[in-house]
Amino acid sequence: MLIGELAARTGVSARSLRHYEERGLLAPGRDSGGYRRYAESDVVRVLRVRAMVRAGVGTATVRRYLDCVREGADGVDGVDGVDGVRLEMCPGLRAELDALVGRLDAREAEVRETRGRLERLVGGG
């Protein structure tokens, strides 16, 4: 299928699909005219990439773990990801996601502290 059809089937813009290709997340073939040609399996791959990116995972991390997510690995955990896409979690990805959650928790605590200081400042307290 061509890029427009893949975009329509996945809800991901053609521009994002080209970005995924630049980041090594997709490797479409090319036809004799130079047009990108995608396989049926790329639909699921794009949905998994989009789920991970929308959840806050950077493309470098997605690239490192996409194959184990796609194919599964020994000791994987299956989880429902963003938009109902099922992801098979390999242990390395699970550790990265846990670390990301930890960083987000720390940032939330910092924001709460800053908000409290601002409220005290504004309130004169």
Where residue 72 falls among pLDDT bands split at 50, 70, 90?
Answer: very low
- Cβ burial, residue 99 (10 Å; 0-12/13-18/19+): exposed
Instruction: Please state the domain count of the chain.
Output: 1
* 110 is a domain residue: no
Q: Using one digit for the tens of pLDDT, what is the confidence trace for 15-71? A: 999 999 999 999 999 999 999 999 999 998 998 899 889 888 899 999 988 877 654
Q: Write the pLDDT tens digit of every residue in 91-106.
A: 888 888 899 999 999 9
Residue 35 belongs to domain with CATH number: 1.10.1660.10
Residue 40 falls within a domain, yes or no?
Answer: yes
Q: What pTM was computed for the model?
A: 0.73
- What was the pLDDT predicted at 83? 60
Residue range of the domain that includes 57: 3-90
Token pair, residue 112, equals 């709460």
**76 occurs within a structural domain:** yes
